[in-house]
Amino acid sequence: MFEYLMGQVSAIHPSYVVMDVNGVGYKLLVANPYRYEMDEKTTIYVEQIVRENEQSLYGFYDLSEKELFGKLTSVSGIGPKSALAILAGNDISGVFSAIETGDATYLTKFPGVGKKTAQQIILDLQGKISFDKTQPNLLDNHLELSSSVALNDGLEALLSLGYSTKDIKKITNQLKESKANTADEYVREGLRLLMS
């Protein structure tokens, strides 16, 4: 139904952003909300998913992210939340490489992806997705926040992606000692630590 929305980011939460499009606020569930800036005018690509008891809009930074989300959710056992968790690390090339080389171990590092599901992803998608290695890093926007607020926002975002409180507590001290300054940087560093 929707392809994209053009407007202004009016609110940022751990698992979603609100986009104001001509006075109408759209709640968009996104992989990493802290890649957006408040009051930023932008285009967010969207996918509407309608279920028996809910309708949700999922937002994506670019078309390749939206395409990968669609492919992932077509795999049995991968729902929208798991697909967003996979996209949150901004390592589309790593995911592509794992699928193409049959590296199920890499894929099981994401929340909600067990060994069987990882093997199903490989079986269903190997040879069926393309990735442009020349694509620039899309996460160059940063929020200007104090480190403690940014850290808390980053931790909440990791929780909303499905990681357990126990796992997040294990990496919190490492995150505090990291060079991250923004919520986006804390999320990316947290994902790196959780997957190592």
Render pLDDT for 129-169 as a digit per residue (tens, 0 to 9): 765 443 433 333 332 333 467 888 888 888 888 888 888 88
Confidence grade of residue 183 (pLDDT, cut at 50, 70, 90): confident
**Token pair belonging to 66:** 């939206």
Distance CA 141, CA 9 (A): 13
pLDDT at position 130: 64
Average pLDDT score, the chain: 85
State whether residue 37 is helix, strand or coil: coil
**Residue 54 pLDDT more than 90?**
no
- Other CB atoms within a 10 A radius of the CB of residue 96 amount to 18
pLDDT at position 60: 93
Length of the chain: 196
Rg of the chain in Å (alpha carbons): 16
pLDDT at position 160: 84
User: pLDDT over 90 for what percent of the chain?
Assistant: 43
User: pLDDT over 70 for what percent of the chain?
Assistant: 90
Distance CA 64, CA 80 (A): 16
State whether residue 196 is helix, strand or coil: coil
Q: Which residues contact 186 (CB under 8 A, 6 or more apart)?
A: 150, 151, 153, 154, 155, 175, 178, 180
- Other CB atoms within a 10 A radius of the CB of residue 101 amount to 11
CB neighbour burial string for 138-172, b if at least 16 within 10 angstroms, e if fewer: ebeeebebebeebbebbbbbbebbebeeeebeebe
Question: Taking the model in full, what pTM does it have?
Answer: 0.69
Distance CA 85, CA 89 (A): 7
Confidence grade of residue 118 (pLDDT, cut at 50, 70, 90): very high
pLDDT at position 141: 31
Confidence grade of residue 42 (pLDDT, cut at 50, 70, 90): very high
Max Cα–Cα distance, the chain, nearest Å: 46
- pLDDT tens, position by position, 70-105: 999 999 989 999 999 898 876 777 888 889 899 999
